[in-house]
A and B are shown apart, each in its own frame.
Chain A
Amino acid sequence: MDNSQYKHVFVFAEQRDGVVQSVALELIGKARDLAADLGEKVFAVLLGKGIAPSAKKLVEYGADTVIVVDNDNLKDYVTEQYAQAMYQVVVEYKPAILLFGATTIGRDLAPRVAARLGTGLTADCTKLEISEDTKEFQMTRPAFGGNLMATIMCPDHRPQMSTVRPGVMQKCTPNASRKGEIINFAPKFDSSKFSVKLVKTVKEEKASVDISEAKILVSGGRGVGCVAGFDKLRELAKVVGGEVSSSRAMVDAGNMPHDRQVGQTGKTVRPDVYFALGISGAIQHLAGMEESECIIAVNKDKFAPIFAVADLGIVCDLNTVVPLLTERLKKEMAK
C-alpha cells in the first residue's frame, strides 16, 4: 500500500431518519484540527436517501467537501448496503483517516468496512491527534475496562480508522456563510449480497428506570426538603440528560420511591457524574456512590462528610444553585 496516495480526513456523517447525528458534527470538529495539523482537508461522507439537503449543515459545521451518496438502497441502515457504499467511496477517494461515531450504526459498520479494506480500526477513542514531529496519527483509548489508557497507531495500512463516542469531541461553532464542495457519488451495488431484510423499526419509551444504569445522577438528600423540592432536581436532570436519585432520608420521608435510593440499603451506582445535592454523606450513602467518576457536591454545611469524596465541593444553598445551574445548562446545551 502506497500510503502517500491517501490524503485528507474523512468523517462518516451518520444520519438517522434524515437527521444528521450530533456525533458526526463533533467528529467534523475534530477532523478540522487533524486536517489543519496535516495541511489537508475535511470530507464528510453522507449516505442515505433524500439526504442531499443535509449536506449544507455539514459544511456549516466545518466540512470542506461533502460526498453525497443518495440511493434507494441506503434509505435505512442495513450493514451490507452501507458497507458496499463506504467501501467504494474509500477506494475512489483514498482517505488517510476515516472517522465514525461509536454508535450502534458506527460500531456495526466501521469494523465491516475495515475488514473489507484489510485495514486497522481503533474503537472508542477519547483522543485523536497528529504528533508534532513525525506527523503521525495517534489514537488514544481506554483499555481494561477503563483502568488503563493506550495510544495506538496504524502505521502501514490505510485508511487509518477510528470510532469515537458521542459527546467526546467538540463541534465547531456553525458558520452559515461557509462554502464547501458537494460531490454526488454513485456506487455500483451488488444486490445479490443483500441477505438481510429490515422488517420493522420500533421506537421505545423507556419504562422504569434503573438508576444504576444512568450515566448522570442528580441526587437529593435532606437539604432538598420536600417532594416539591425534587421537581427542581428533575428539571436539572432532564436538561443534563440524567436521572434523579436520592438518599435514604428522602425515601423514608416518602419523597422518593425506594428504587431511586442510593446507598447501603439502596443501590450502588457508578455514574460518570454524581450530583450530591443537600446530601450530608453518611457512611451508608457513600458506600453506594463513592466510586462515581465525578462527584459534585453542594451543601450548606462545610463540614458535611460528602466533601471528603467530592471532586468538586460547593458550600452553598442548593436551592439557589440548582435553578441557576439548570438555566445555564439549557443555554450551554442549545449551543
Chain B
Amino acid sequence: MNFNLTKTQELFRQMIHEFAEKEVKPLAAEIDEQERFPEETVKKMAKLGIFGIPVPKEYGGAGGDNIMYSIAVEELSRCCATTGVIVSAHTSLCMVPILEFGTEEQKRKYLPKLASGEWIGAFGLTEPNAGTDSSAQQTTAVLDGDEWVLNGNKIFITNAGQAGLYVIIAMTDKSQGNRGISAFLVEADTPGFSVGKQELKMGIRGSSTAELIFDNCRIPKENLLGQVGRGFRIAMKTLDGGRIGIAAQALGIAQGALDETVKYTKERKQFGRAIAKFQNTQFQMADLQTKIEAARLLVRSAAFKKDEAIKNDRIAYSADSAMAKLYASEVAMEVTTKAVQFHGGYGYTREYPVERMMRDAKITEIYEGTSEVQRMVIAGNLFGKI
C-alpha cells in the first residue's frame, strides 16, 4: 500500500499549488468583496486544461485521474473556495455524468467543449421543495414527438448563468417514484430556459448561484442522459463523485486557514512573546493539524477508490466519499472558526482572510448533500437493509 503520490501526481500538485498561489490568491479577497465571478482565472485555468482533468484525451481532456482532480480542488480552495467550487461543480456534476452515462454521440458532442473550458458545466437537482428530500422532484419532462418539454425550476444552482451546459434532473413519470425520474442535457441558450437572479450568500460569494427556470423548454430527444427512469440513480452516483470534490474543497479551506494561523501566531506578540509559543495555541493547533491530515487521507482514499471503480465497476465508493465529505466539512468549520479566534479582533475584520474562510467553510456542510444526508449514506452502507 503506497501512500505517496506518483511522480506525475506530485508534478501536478507542484503546478496547481503555484498556480493557486500566484494567480488565484491575489484575487480571492476582491472577488469575495465584489461578489464577482472570476472570469480571468477561469480563462487561465481553461487554457491549462484544469477544466478537463479526469476526462480521457480522446474526448479532449487531460487524461488525469481523480487523485489529481482532488488535489486541484484542494489547492485552488486553499487560496479561494469560490474558484475551487467552480471547477468542482463543473467537473463532478456535469462532465463526469456525461462521461459515465452519456452515449458516444453525447460524449463527442459535449465533452471536448467542457474539458477545454469553452463551456462551464452545471447540475440542477435541488428545487424549492426538494432539498435533502431530493426525490420530491416537481420539475417535469414530457416527451412530445422528437422533443422533451421541461417545466419547473431549480434553486441554488452553482455556475448558473455562467454554464454552457446543464445536467437537469426531472420527473418523467410521477407514478414510478424514484424510478420515474430522468436526467437531461440542456444547453444554455435553449428557448424556454432562463436563469433567475443571483443568490446573495454568506460565503463563496464569487460563485454564481441562481435559480433555473424551465417554461415549456424544448430539448431534442437525443438530450436524454442515460435511460428514462434512471435519472435518480444517475443523480445519486453523480453526487457520490461530487462529494469527493466538495470534501477536497473543505480540506483546502481548512489547510489555508491553518497556514494563515501558523503565520499569524508566529508574528503576533502579546505578553512579551509570540502567541505561537503558548501551549494553548500549540495544543489546539496540533489537534487541528491532525484532523486535517485525517481528512486528507479520507479524501485521497475516496478519490483512489473512484479511480479503481472506473476499471472495476463492482467497486463502490459512496460511503467513502460520504465519510470524506462529512469529516472534511466539519473539520473545515472547526479549523476556520478557531482560525478567526486565534487572530483575535483582527481575524474578525476583512483585513485578514480567515473570516472569509470561515464564511466559505459553512456551505461545505450543506451542499451536495447535508452532513445529515452523509450520515444517512454511511449508516445505510454500514447497516444494509434493516
Contacts and interface: CB of A to CB of B under 8 A. Distances in A.
Contacts of B351: 264-265, 284
Interface in A272-328: 283-284, 286-287
Given A264-B352, A287-B267, 7 more contacts: A264-B351, A265-B351, A283-B267, A283-B268, A283-B269, A284-B351, A286-B267
A286 B263 CA distance: 13
Interface in B298-319: none
Q: In terms of DSSP, what is the predominant structure of the interface of chain A?
A: helix
9 contacts: A264-B351, A264-B352, A265-B351, A283-B267, A283-B268, A283-B269, A284-B351, A286-B267, A287-B267
Interface string B242-282: 00000000000000000000000001110000000000000
A284 B351 CA distance: 9
Contacts of A265: 351
Contacts of B269: 283
A264 B352 CA distance: 8
Contacts of A286: 267
B351 to A, nearest CB: 6
Nearest to A290: B267
Interface string A105-136: 00000000000000000000000000000000
B118 to A, nearest CB: 35
Nearest to B263: A287
Contacts of A264: 351-352
Interface in A182-197: none
B262 to A, nearest CB: 14
A287 B260 CA distance: 13
Nearest to B351: A265
B266 to A, nearest CB: 11
A287 B268 CA distance: 10
Interface in A236-281: 264-265
Among B267, B268, B352, chain A packs the most CB atoms within 10 A around the CB of B267
Contacts of B352: 264
B268 to A, nearest CB: 6
Nearest to A248: B351
Interface in B70-122: none
Nearest to A305: B269
Nearest to A308: B269
A134 to B, nearest CB: 47
A261 to B, nearest CB: 12
B232 to A, nearest CB: 48
Contacts of B267: 283, 286-287
Interface string A62-96: 00000000000000000000000000000000000
Contacts of B268: 283
Interface in B346-386: 351-352
A284 B269 CA distance: 12
A264 B269 CA distance: 16
B344 to A, nearest CB: 11
A286 B267 CA distance: 9
Q: Which 8 A-B residue pairs are closest in the complex by CB-CB distance?
A: A283-B267, A265-B351, A283-B268, A287-B267, A264-B351, A284-B351, A286-B267, A264-B352
Contacts of A287: 267
A160 to B, nearest CB: 41
A277 B344 CA distance: 28
A295 B268 CA distance: 20
A307 to B, nearest CB: 14
B190 to A, nearest CB: 44
Contacts of A283: 267-269
A287 B267 CA distance: 8
A259 to B, nearest CB: 14
Nearest to B29: A265
Nearest to A264: B351
A284 B347 CA distance: 12
Nearest to B352: A264
Contacts of A284: 351
A283 B269 CA distance: 9
A285 to B, nearest CB: 11
A288 to B, nearest CB: 11
A287 B269 CA distance: 13
B158 to A, nearest CB: 29
Interface string A208-231: 000000000000000000000000
B21 to A, nearest CB: 13
Nearest to B268: A283
B304 to A, nearest CB: 38
A265 B267 CA distance: 16
B381 to A, nearest CB: 46
A162 to B, nearest CB: 36
Interface in A27-65: none
Nearest to B269: A283
B321 to A, nearest CB: 38
B34 to A, nearest CB: 16
A283 B263 CA distance: 12
A249 to B, nearest CB: 13
A164 B269 CA distance: 42
Nearest to A286: B267
A267 to B, nearest CB: 11
B120 to A, nearest CB: 31
B274 to A, nearest CB: 11
A170 B368 CA distance: 69
B164 to A, nearest CB: 36
A246 to B, nearest CB: 17
A259 B315 CA distance: 55
A188 B58 CA distance: 64
Interface in B218-254: none
A286 B269 CA distance: 12
Nearest to B350: A265
Interface in B188-222: none
A62 B267 CA distance: 51
A312 B256 CA distance: 36
A257 to B, nearest CB: 17
A185 B324 CA distance: 79
A4 to B, nearest CB: 54
A285 B8 CA distance: 40
B192 to A, nearest CB: 47
B231 to A, nearest CB: 48
A297 to B, nearest CB: 17
B39 to A, nearest CB: 23
A284 B268 CA distance: 10
Interface string B12-47: 000000000000000000000000000000000000
